[in-house]
Amino acid sequence: IRFLSEAGYNIPAEAGVVGYSDLELSSHFFPSITTVRINRRTLGYLAARTLVDVITGRITCPVQIYLQPSLVIRESTGCSSSIKGDIKNENRLNSD
């Protein structure tokens, strides 16, 4: 965001910024950063369980695990409040 701002871009009017992992700092930047969130606790659990399964021979490598991410819309993309509501509803439906 700093680089784009220093280059003369107006965030989010001229350039949108999206991060990944939803770090706690994301909400403290100005503008606050829209981000893709994954459940890190679930990721850690699945990684540990997969490691145990590989060590014990229950599964073999390579292993693919898919986690459903969610989108946390903040100021850095300039999305309207109606889009935010649509995304929140979609994320809620996908997490059931």
Please write the tens of the pLDDT for every residue from 21-75.
Answer: 887 777 777 888 899 999 999 999 999 999 999 999 999 888 898 899 999 998 8
Within a domain: 91: no
Within a domain: 93: no
Q: What are phi and psi of 17, to 5 degrees?
A: -125, 130
* pLDDT score at 92: 54
Domain count, the chain: 1
Size of the chain in residues:
96
Pick the closest to residue 50 from 39, 32, 41, 62 (CA basis).
62
Within a domain: 56: yes
Within a domain: 17: yes
* pLDDT score at 96: 47
Within a domain: 27: yes
Q: What residue numbers bound the domain in which 30 lies?
A: 2-83
Query: pTM above 0.75?
Result: no
* pLDDT score at 27: 74
* pLDDT score at 85: 57
Do the Cβ atoms of 76 and 18 come closer than 8 Å? yes
Within a domain: 92: no
Q: What angle do CA 58, 38, 20 make, to 5 degrees?
A: 125
Within a domain: 95: no
Examine the pLDDT at 18 and tell me if it is beyond 80.
Answer: yes
